[in-house]
Amino acid sequence: MQNRPALVVFSHVFPNPAQETFGLFIRERMFRVAAERRVTVVSPVPWFPGQGLLRRLRPGYRPLVPYHEVQQGIDVYHPRFLSIPRFLKFTDGVFEALFSLPLLLKLKRAGRLDILDAHFIHPDGTAAWLLGKWLAVPYTITLRGALPRIARTRLRRRLAIRAMRSAARVFAVADSLRQVAIRLGIKADHVQVVSNGINLDLFQPENKQQCRQELDIDPDAKVLLTVGTLTENKGFHRVMEQLPALLERFPGLVYLIVGGEHPNGDEQRLRRIAGELGVADRVRFMGVHPPERLRFFYSAADLYVMPSRTEGWANVFLEAAACGLPAVATRVGGNAEVISKPQVGTLVPFGEGEALRKAIAEGLERQWEHDVIMAYARDNAWEKRIGQLVQAFDTIHADSLPRGKE
């Protein structure tokens, strides 16, 4: 039917066999749209001649990904694109577009591309701007946490502004990102906030003591938890820096880190920091776990802590809340929109270690109303978001059709 567009989700961040938790929030969002409209995923992967040699020195660096796979009945393609490690990053969008063009041309000819739905402003948004012109199709961009950083760079900022202005619609996962776009000169009515949601089938509370027994954690210990890719941005080291003082107050304190390695190799750096601070025996690196296992970690913990440098809309706070777990986070990006009530968590200024330590200590001692926290998560279920997206895509498609064919 003419008013039901075929979408191509376009994002270099998307789960694949080598990185199963990479971009789960995009899959959660767009596979729900796929229940309403036809969806194909194109997830380009960065490539550089000789990167296999780098992989020998740094296992896990740009892992090998199959060109095509099927996830939940949906085709997912992973074309390679030239990406020079560390240098000339403003060229990534151009190369992503060039290397993805043949596949997208085939999809358009097959009637599988009416709207290109890009995620992240760079490189995907830049690539979508070019591909939209070359293929004569409308495109959308979803703004996530990278926009403020991109806005501080000269070339990528210019490309981002062009891409947003030419998009049929710009989505933002948080109003804070919408305001950044508006400050860059994008019209207010051109940017629509559609926040991320929570999968209540995956995230729900489990018995705390049973979870602790499985994880070999003392039933009486105070437990902190952070879930995420091991990057500097997430602030694992900022939590560690507060552990020596916190251990004086909570002698049995344990800090669980659940997440996969980053290409920059941050796990060894974090382990070194823990050793230098004398808290290596209190920090437990739990590795990567699939979404269906994460609720056991949330249920075992007393407090979720993530002092990020930047964020768009961090779904981990909703995941924690769905399991009844309160959070401590930095007041950056969209965090104040996710942790919007004092009953679900505490916000502290970024970079203020004393404030972070105080919030953690108070969070560990406070009697939280866990039912209230879980009710807040239920109010943010994915099902309450998807209708907005489907309606927007249908409107964009109808506006793109020649008159008389709506």
Among 283, 275, 386, CA closest to 36: 386
The architecture in CATH of the region 208-378 reads: 3-Layer(aba) Sandwich (3.40)
Q: How many CB atoms lie within 10 A of CB 268?
A: 10
pLDDT of residue 1: 44
Establish how many alpha carbons lie within 13 A of residue 24's alpha carbon, considering only the half-sphere containing its beta carbon: 21
* DSSP assignments along 7-49, one per residue: EEEE-S---BTTBTTTTHHHHHHHHHHTTTS-EEEE--EEE-T
pLDDT of residue 265: 58
pTM: 0.86
CA angle in degrees (0–180, nearest 5) for 42-45-47: 145
Please report which confidence band the pLDDT of residue 64 belongs to, taking 50, 70 and 90 as the band edges: confident
Per-residue pLDDT of 340-365, as tens digits, reads 999 999 999 999 999 999 999 999 99
How large is the angle between the packed helices 24-33 and 386-400, nearest 10 degrees?
Answer: 60
Cα separation, 253 vs 92, in Å, equals 44
Kindly list the domain boundaries of the chain, sorted by start residue: 7-196+385-400, 208-378
Can you give the length of the chain in residues? 406
Residue 60 has pLDDT above 90, yes or no: no
Same fold, 7-196+385-400 and 208-378: yes
For the chain, give the percent of residues with pLDDT over 90.
Answer: 80
Strands 68-71 and 74-77, how do they pair? antiparallel
Please report which confidence band the pLDDT of residue 151 belongs to, taking 50, 70 and 90 as the band edges: confident
More confident residue, 173 or 262: 173
Please report which confidence band the pLDDT of residue 282 belongs to, taking 50, 70 and 90 as the band edges: very high
Q: Enter the tokens of residue 149.
A: 């950083």
What is the arithmetic mean of pLDDT over 44-66? 79
Answer yes or no: are the C-beta atoms of 316 and 306 closer than 8 Å. yes
Per-residue pLDDT of 177-206, as tens digits, reads 999 999 999 999 999 999 999 999 999 999
Residue 22 has pLDDT above 90, yes or no: no
CATH fold for the domain made of 7-196+385-400: Rossmann fold (3.40.50)
> Which parts of 228-371 are beta strand (E)?
254-258, 283-287, 303-306, 327-330, 345-348
